[in-house]
Structure 1
């Protein structure tokens, strides 16, 4: 399932060895939360995995996430390991060859955010999560059972700026009794550096303020 947030032209899904469906919504601001809800609503799978369009999962990503999500115990919200690389100029075929080990060509790897690595280490990959650990959840590499997603109402669809929808959802899942978990084995590669290393002061403020507004509504 591909959910498109109002692109001027529909994404070209190309030829796939599996079924894929495109759902779209009108361009009305940055509505990643609503787009993810749209994709989830159009699917029927018992497990939901969300991956951003600029993020490429490794071949074992789905299996690793599914294993974490179906482990015994309370329902879990799982965040994968988002790594970073400069994928400028890389074609899909070249990417596939790198990820599957068909050739030795590899993109330039970029640093992982130290604050996030430290948080996962400190919390034993969120096994020791507390009421503030929602801050370490990234919707670019996010998974949870459909039943949990529907029970808490999905992403907050009113959010219209970059970021914050992942943390807002994670906090509601935590309050609903779900466990949080970081799955190191589920690796996906983001094209470019981590957000905090980019010069987007206004976007940082929007992410912070909209997240705060959503939390005040609980």
Structure 2
């Protein structure tokens, strides 16, 4: 959708963006890119902010948003920038057999219209003050959300699972994004809900409880940005999201031809929804300033089963969205250099250096006109190499671990490489996620590196198991194939 940004809409350059040549060149976004600006555009962005005042600033703001170099800088007052009644929203809560969660959630939704969809609970769910729709038999979360969606007539619809608790201000923060008429969906950051210990759980401060606080699959981090396939935020979970009702009802599903969630999908239906909206031309936003807490699984068996369950969704997604489900997205040069490093030999390291140097020279030739093309090329090269090594390490430990284990069983060199990769990737992840909080700020770690490493390897093993099981069940390797970046 190409609706113009309204007058008064503000954007701000991302904190991680590098400004070069007096502001005429910016490096950042997702994926990382170099964006060149005219002197006039550079002048408009001199303060790091931009307010839409006319068609020129609107076009510039749109380009910055779509590249991920800038993010909306909004407040609840910006809801008034839209001609639509964005202050009107209905919350839809799909639930099966979680009365306590519904009671807790309703206490946080006072003053907001709520529709609770009971998806065939053995004991009917009670929801005082809310409208209740009941399915006589379970039909799945996608069908429950669609039933609630069909009963809504407000401009916006918020979906919240019964094991979530939204924090104050979440709905206004997300609603403001819809002042951009091309936005169909906005999602909050999902963090861990502080709960008392239950029998059979690990006590706070150790193991899965702390790991899930740090690295839940639902927590997409502290950096805002567009939701685009193949980027760090390629989808947002349906546990908490707000949608434009006319947008979500207007994109047909593959199974029924009607709008909403695909009811044939009992896993990854949220990913499918995000990608269908994106393919239809709508824009989606992730905003960690809005926060919804979630009651994470912390019992080992259920936790591992959930990780494998997430992996199962890759195969049906690959069938519906060819080319979008790829464990690795690499440029040919970075794939070659990274693969050479992972041979664990001096010759491989030499090949990686030569390939990287050649790639750096090619990048430098495309940067003519910049004051320091070689220095800029070096930065881009370093970012590309780092991304390639990180993806390959994650591939060894997560997506392709069955192959890694098989190779380690027959080769001493492979065994050393796989073991070193498993330890290094886990410790780097601990450093980024816990020691630095994923936000670049040093802090006291919540979990020691050894236990974090064990949990991370179990996390990846569970997902990888589900990924391969789903591929075998679908008799298709599409979800396992890397893609050229």
Cα distance change on mapping 1:62 and 1:8 into 2, 3 Å: same
* SS of residue paired to 1:78: strand
**Superposition deviation, residue 151 in structure 1:** 0.9
How many pairs align?
A: 187
Q: What does residue 236 of structure 2 align with?
A: 137
Normalised TM-score (structure 1): 0.73
Q: Encode CA deviations 1:4-48: one digit per residue, 9 max, x unaligned.
A: 22111121213x4xxx2011223345x111110000101111101
- Residue from 76, 84, 89 that aligns with 2:192: 84
Unaligned runs of 5+ in 1: 91-107
Equivalences for 1:27-66 in 2 at 5 Å?
27-28=137-138, 31-66=140-175
Matched, 1:126 2:225: yes
Q: Encode CA deviations 1:127-158: one digit per residue, 9 max, x unaligned.
A: 3x543357431101111101101111110011
* SS of residue paired to 1:204: helix
- 2-structure distance, mates of 1:115, 1:6: 27
Normalised TM-score (structure 2): 0.35
- Residue from 127, 132, 135 that aligns with 1:22: 132
Equivalences for 1:168-207 in 2 at 5 Å?
168-193=272-297, 198-200=303-305, 202-207=308-313
Q: What does residue 113 of structure 1 align with?
A: 215
**Superposition deviation, residue 204 in structure 1:** 3.1
Q: Which structure carries more relative contact order (alpha carbon 8 Å, separation 6+)?
A: 1
RMSD: 3.1
- 2-structure distance, mates of 1:182, 1:13: 30
Kept in 1: contact 2:221–2:288 (CA 8 A):
no
**Superposition deviation, residue 111 in structure 1:** 1.7
- 1-structure distance, mates of 2:119, 2:320: 21
- 2-structure distance, mates of 1:130, 1:85: 27
Unaligned runs of 5+ in 2: 1-114, 199-208, 252-258, 323-485
- 2-structure distance, mates of 1:8, 1:89: 26
Q: Which has the larger radius of gyration?
A: 2
Higher strand residue share: 1
Kept in 1: contact 2:190–2:291 (CA 8 A):
yes
